[in-house]
Amino acid sequence: MIGSDFMKKNKPGFTLIELLVVIAIIGLLSTLSILALNTARARARDAKRISDVKQIQTALEMYYNDTGDYPTTASGGAAIASANGTFLRQIPVPPLPTDGTACGTGVTKYTYTKTGSTGSDSAYTLEYCLGATVSNITGNVLHTSTPAGIN
């Protein structure tokens, strides 16, 4: 009897092949989740860019309603304010990294340019870039927004 118990080789546990299959499946699932997470992060950066541009446009329109003209300059980190109040405490900067290839890798700000003279002839352009298409706004191209809206 003692010899027969010693000779049994059927011990409970996993074989090496079973363990390797489980490790491979876990590796595949983690790779897929990382890829999905990176895509979600890029979409979140694009959503923030669109939100930033709309926020800047709202502040510019409030400035125009207050002064009858658009500011001559506006850059990232500066405020949009008049003698009567502050409309945007700090102009946001785009989130990094820059997504897409059309705008280059050094795009670290939204570009504001005042056009026209003063009063009703005054307007502006606000340039920004998206990495991918969001809603009806095409991705991977340089966009220009105006007082007419975001495009």
Task: State which amino acid sits at residue 95.
Answer: P
Number of Cβ within 10 Å of residue 145's Cβ equals 22
Could you tell me the residue ranges of all domains in the chain?
A: 14-145
Q: Kindly state the average pLDDT of the residues 5-28.
A: 83
Give the rounded percent of residues in the chain with a pLDDT score beyond 70.
88
The pLDDT tens digits for 114-148 are 998 877 788 999 988 888 777 778 777 888 899 98
- Written as one string, the DSSP assignment of the chain is -HHHHHH----SS--HHHHHHHHHHHHHHHHHHHHHHHHHHHHHHHHHHHHHHHHHHHHHHHHHHHHSS--S---TT--EEETTEEEESS-----SSPPSSTT-S---S-EEEEES-SGGG-EEEEEEE-SS-BTTBPSSSEEEEBTTB--
Q: Is the pLDDT of residue 7 over 90?
A: no
* Least confident piece of the model among 3-12, 77-86, 136-145: 3-12
- If pLDDT is split at 50, 70 and 90, which confidence band does 69 have? very high
Tokens standing for residue 46: 């694009």
Task: State which amino acid sits at residue 4.
Answer: S
The pLDDT tens digits for 33-61 are 998 898 888 888 888 999 999 999 999 99
- If pLDDT is split at 50, 70 and 90, which confidence band does 88 have? very high
